[in-house]
Structure 1
Amino acid sequence: MTTRALAACSVVAQAVLTIGTAGAQTRLPPITVTAHAPEERVLPPQTVITIDTLVDRQPRTVADVLRGVAGVTVRANSRGETVARIRGAEERQTQVFLDGAPLAVPWDGRVDLGLLPAGLLGNVRVIKGAAPIEYGANTVAGVVDFQTRQSAQGSFAHAEAGSLGSGSASVVLAEKIGAIEATFAAGGITRDAEPLAGPLRFSQPSRDRRTNSDLDAGSLFAALGTSIGDVRLRASLLHLAAERGIAPESDRPAEAGVRFWRYPDIALTQATLNLGVALGGDAELLATAWRQEFSQRIAQYRSVNYAALRRTQEDDDSTLGGRITFAHRLGPLHLRWAASAQTSTHRQVETDFPSAMAGPRLKYRQNLHSAGVEADAELAPGVRATFGAAYDAVDNPLTGDKPRQPSLDAGAASAAFRFDLGDDAVLTLSGGRRTRFPTARELFGEALGRFVLNPDLRPEQAWLTDAELRWTRSGLSLTLNPFLIRSEDTLAQRVLADGRRQRFNLSGATSFGVDASIVHDLSDTLRLELSGTVLSARADAGSAAVRRLPQRPSFEALAVLDWNVHGQFDLRAELRGVGKAIDLDATGQSVDLPAAAEIALRAAIPVAQLGKHQLLVTFAVDNLTDAQIFPQAGLPSPGRLWRVGLRFD
């Protein structure tokens, strides 16, 4: 699998080098193939995290980068994967991209953001609401768009160690060599266990470390880019290998169906090719192609001892996709045409123990297509608008040993208006309709006997409305973003009489709330940051046994005080609060998740100047007060964790 991806990328890299040695020695501008934002385009609410902010927060993983962004929740799900949710939507409704290519494995529609080191990133953009058409189908709640480092952002290295055997390290070399833009990165993350903040009732023999929560992950990344005339090209390759445990549910006894699982092997290889061509006359062609190979082994055990195997599952996924966007001017309009296609094949073998008899090798395939157009226009002085329409479709030509599924399609539409209010204030109104099709796993995956299939699952549909006010003055910025989401056929889970779960479509649900943020420079060295979300999410009456949607906190808030004296120190204190929520227990009954708060501290102190670069000592403490926080029933967040390290930037 990895060999095929490496070979494909080496051919592309050779082509880049050939073009680069013959091309002009001009600097390669970034190729933005998702949500390119010229002045006339109006986008829904978005948050951009720059390289300076990334370094300041001292994140270990790409998941840590998103913590504290208004409207974004980062948590570990019941499979131990660290996922992102936008405005309380399910993680599969939030699409994740890396350099323009989808990063999630299509079979499951999710990606573990806790396995990749944050040092790889150059910037991050979070788009909420009706996402632009380039992102294709399934972007119901919004988008997390990761961009890797390039030479303008410089090289970087960091290594740290902490409590309970935790540690991380990453090195990124981003340089321009003649006409070639080159980025090479390596990173690793490890821990013996997550710290435990308080007692748990079941499946928790240790008092200070979470059962079966170890992790070892390593990654390699390489990218080469060049430009010749009006053509820009960049090829990249990411490889990730990991193994980790999955902490068991601690709110129920073993006989209630507790998941005693491990992932002994996880591997992801993704090759991406980005192309940009300026055609003159305000016309531009942008394209991205990607090839992803993914494999994993799931081991299911009989007890909390993790000694006797019950069953294993071997997964192997191959994905090929591409996107093309053509932007041009037509009279007073600026048009963007976008089309994307992706095909993904999933192979799966389950083996029962102690017989060690392997079952049949099942093969599934899902094809996803999307095409649309957007138009930008100036409606009046200080008033601009963007209108969009798209068509999405999916089919499942291979369904293993399950019945065939009909092909599905849906239309999408959006509109956004930007009003320049003067005095550094801008008001944006946006909205639209988006659809998410069930993943192949939701349709056909039984999760080692945990789920009962529902062959009648329908696509999720959502109407999204946003109003965003941005006001900036010297040293002060304010963002206020009320939103309303009306969902139909949202996928939920119910617990059956035998303890297994089944996915089903709610008739409808309504979510509304406000995202807000304030950044204020109190002085030249002291900055105050406040951000948060207030959320209400309810299913329609009669649609579900419990109307309040589970695992949706009533609020999330972050307060930050950052004291940065250049050349001497950078100190950062964070207070994060989480409101009350509910979850469902093993019988499907509602249980309360209490409100909680945690404190984190960060420090970076320069110790040496090496030319244009600095060497710094870093120190961090997460969850300083060792607060017990439950994002979901029986699966708490980590307790207090300290770490110390060295950073070179």
Structure 2
Amino acid sequence: MRSRRFALALAVFAPALAGAQQPAPSARPDSTAKPLHPVVVRERQRARAVGGSAIVEVAVDSVRTAPAANLDAVLRTVPFVGVRTNSRGETELSLRASDSRQPAVLLEGVPLTLGWDSRTDASVIPLSAASGIRVGRTLSSLMLGPNVSSGTIEVGLTEGLTAPRRFLSLGTDQTGALGFSGSSGAPITLGTGTLAVLGGGGVRHRPDLIAPDALSRRVTSGRRDNTDLTQRDYVGGVRYTTVNGASLGVTLTGARGARGVMAEDHLLTPRFWRIPQVDRDVAILSAGTGWRPTPFGSGQIDLRLGRTRGTQRIDQYTDSSYRTVGTTERGDDATTTTRLILEHSIGSRGEIGLGVSSATIDYDETLGAAAPVAYRQRLSSVALETDWELPQQLRLSLSGSRDQAENPLTGGRAPLGERQEWGARVGLSKTLLG
């Protein structure tokens, strides 16, 4: 009986209770609607080469070298990289026993090895504000330009500057060598993008090298004659990156130095040289769109323009006292480099890229009091490359290139004529773990 009365009461009052629980009229919002900018998450891709050896990444601030170290000093700590000093006091690089003309050195994406003689002197490339070095010990891509058959050495400066970075280093040793290096950089929010600003410099002085106990020839006070070195370097750069990944940057770097050259005592008539001037300046303009959607998928454009100027003066002395200069030699070189890379996706598993590189090298040689002799060389390269992600964690890379060289000015000698060569690369890699 009670249950029947309870059911009747519930049936009578339920509509009233339901009406009492109706929501009140919506309140006025406490804030106004605002558009939200897209959030772009960027993760640095692990350096790799399809069908090649692993790429070694070097953090400059963690390498045990003297302060104000140049590129040659850092590369001496990297496995499978050969560094030697030739008879002119210049540093030559070799990757896995390759010829010194085959590896490519790129600074902020601009090839430096397209200069005169297809080499670059790593001892005049300062690292006072370098963000890192990547060493590819085999041919990883044909789109990087000519003379890359044995690998690449890439040096970054303003790229990747996403947090404030300050570095100061001062050191000396028991031989009297002294080095000082400092740099500072930070990203600054500007509008919807980020402006990265970087600056730095260094000073390095090394007296004559300590001679071994068994060596007595051309040794003064326990030191090898004419082996000293002095150098000053600078670097500055700015890069603006939008929220969508497009970027525009300018970088300036260079060095001023002087050094002695060890006498070639293995020759019957050794040369007694000093290099009182070895200067190098590099200006780089970089621009890129970042990966952007297109009607066929996504793609990007990357453009690098570089201008390199250098001067080297050699004084040849009459004897080992280094007091009387017998003759002099001066070399002035200037290189203008352009590199354009276009990349686009192919479906969800493939990419295709086109790389176009060109360089004009001017070199003026002055021997003694004679008039300067002019040389000019033009190098160009066009490469097409495609990468694919295959099943079973396989990656395939196919590429081909066409390189061309010509010598409009040959110092009054007969030119060799235009030369063209083609190249191809096939790479296949499989991920076993991860």
For the criterion TM > 0.5, the same-fold answer is yes
- Residues 114, 359 of structure 2: 8 Å contact kept: no
- Residues 122, 153 of structure 1: 8 Å contact kept: no
Matched residues in 1 for 2:176 and 2:130: separation? 25
- Residues 105, 294 of structure 1: 8 Å contact kept: no
- 1:82 partner letter: T
The equivalent of 1:296 in structure 2 is 312
Max Rg structure: 2
* Cα 1:383/1:319, change in 2 over 3 Å: same
Q: Which runs of 5+ in 2 are unaligned?
A: 1-36
SS at match of 1:163: coil
2:276 to 232, 239, 264: 264
* Cα 1:406/1:133, change in 2 over 3 Å: same
2:225 is equivalent to residue 221 of structure 1: no
SS at match of 1:134: helix
1:407: Cα distance to partner? 1.1
TM-score normalised per structure 1: 0.56
The equivalent of 1:630 in structure 2 is none
Matched residues in 2 for 1:270 and 1:68: separation? 25
Matched residues in 1 for 2:139 and 2:205: separation? 37
Matched residues in 2 for 1:73 and 1:216: separation? 23
The equivalent of 2:28 in structure 1 is none
The equivalent of 1:314 in structure 2 is 330
1:220: Cα distance to partner? 0.8
The equivalent of 1:579 in structure 2 is none
Matched residues in 1 for 2:87 and 2:149: separation? 22
1:248 to 245, 263, 280: 263
2:240 is equivalent to residue 233 of structure 1: no
2:286 to 251, 262, 274: 274
1:198: Cα distance to partner? 4.1
The equivalent of 1:364 in structure 2 is 375
- 1:299 partner letter: D
- Residues 338, 373 of structure 1: 8 Å contact kept: yes
2:74 is equivalent to residue 57 of structure 1: no
Matched residues in 1 for 2:39 and 2:211: separation? 53
- 2:143 partner letter: E
- 1:72 partner letter: V
- Residues 264, 297 of structure 1: 8 Å contact kept: yes
* Cα 1:55/1:379, change in 2 over 3 Å: closer
1:56: Cα distance to partner? 4.3
- Residues 301, 311 of structure 1: 8 Å contact kept: yes
Matched residues in 2 for 1:341 and 1:404: separation? 20
- 1:95 partner letter: A
- Residues 43, 132 of structure 1: 8 Å contact kept: no
SS at match of 1:223: strand
- Residues 151, 182 of structure 1: 8 Å contact kept: no
- 1:277 partner letter: T
Q: State how 1:125-204 maps to structure 2 within 5 Å.
A: 125-148=134-157, 150-152=161-163, 154-179=165-190, 180-200=195-215, 202=217, 204=218
1:206 to 220, 226, 238: 220
- 1:303 partner letter: D
- 2:316 partner letter: Q
Matched residues in 2 for 1:155 and 1:274: separation? 24
SS at match of 2:62: helix
The equivalent of 1:96 in structure 2 is 105
The equivalent of 1:401 in structure 2 is 412
SS at match of 1:88: coil
* Cα 1:62/1:414, change in 2 over 3 Å: same
Matched residues in 1 for 2:71 and 2:197: separation? 21
The Cα offsets for residues 400-450 of structure 1, whole Å up to 9 and x where unpaired, read as 12112211111111111111223x4xxxxxxxxxxxxxxxxxxxxxxxxxx
Matched residues in 2 for 1:259 and 1:47: separation? 40
- Residues 164, 187 of structure 2: 8 Å contact kept: no
Moved more, 152-161 or 103-112: 103-112
The equivalent of 2:357 in structure 1 is 340
The Cα offsets for residues 535-583 of structure 1, whole Å up to 9 and x where unpaired, read as xxxxxxxxxxxxxxxxxxxxxxxxxxxxxxxxxxxxxxxxxxxxxxxxx
Matched residues in 2 for 1:78 and 1:160: separation? 29
2:54 is equivalent to residue 46 of structure 1: yes
Matched residues in 1 for 2:327 and 2:358: separation? 35
Q: State how 1:395-544 maps to structure 2 within 5 Å.
A: 395-422=406-433, 424=434
2:344 is equivalent to residue 328 of structure 1: yes
TM-score normalised per structure 2: 0.82
SS at match of 1:282: strand
Matched residues in 1 for 2:254 and 2:115: separation? 17
Runs of 4+ in 1 over 6 A off after TM superposition: 24-30, 36-39
- 2:54 partner letter: Q
SS at match of 1:108: helix
Matched residues in 2 for 1:28 and 1:295: separation? 44
Matched residues in 2 for 1:246 and 1:90: separation? 22
- 2:182 partner letter: V
Matched residues in 2 for 1:153 and 1:76: separation? 36
Matched residues in 2 for 1:298 and 1:70: separation? 33
Q: Which runs of 5+ in 1 are unaligned?
A: 1-23, 352-357, 425-649
- Residues 117, 170 of structure 1: 8 Å contact kept: no
- 2:338 partner letter: G
The Cα offsets for residues 249-306 of structure 1, whole Å up to 9 and x where unpaired, read as 1334xxx231211111111111001111033232011111001111111111111111
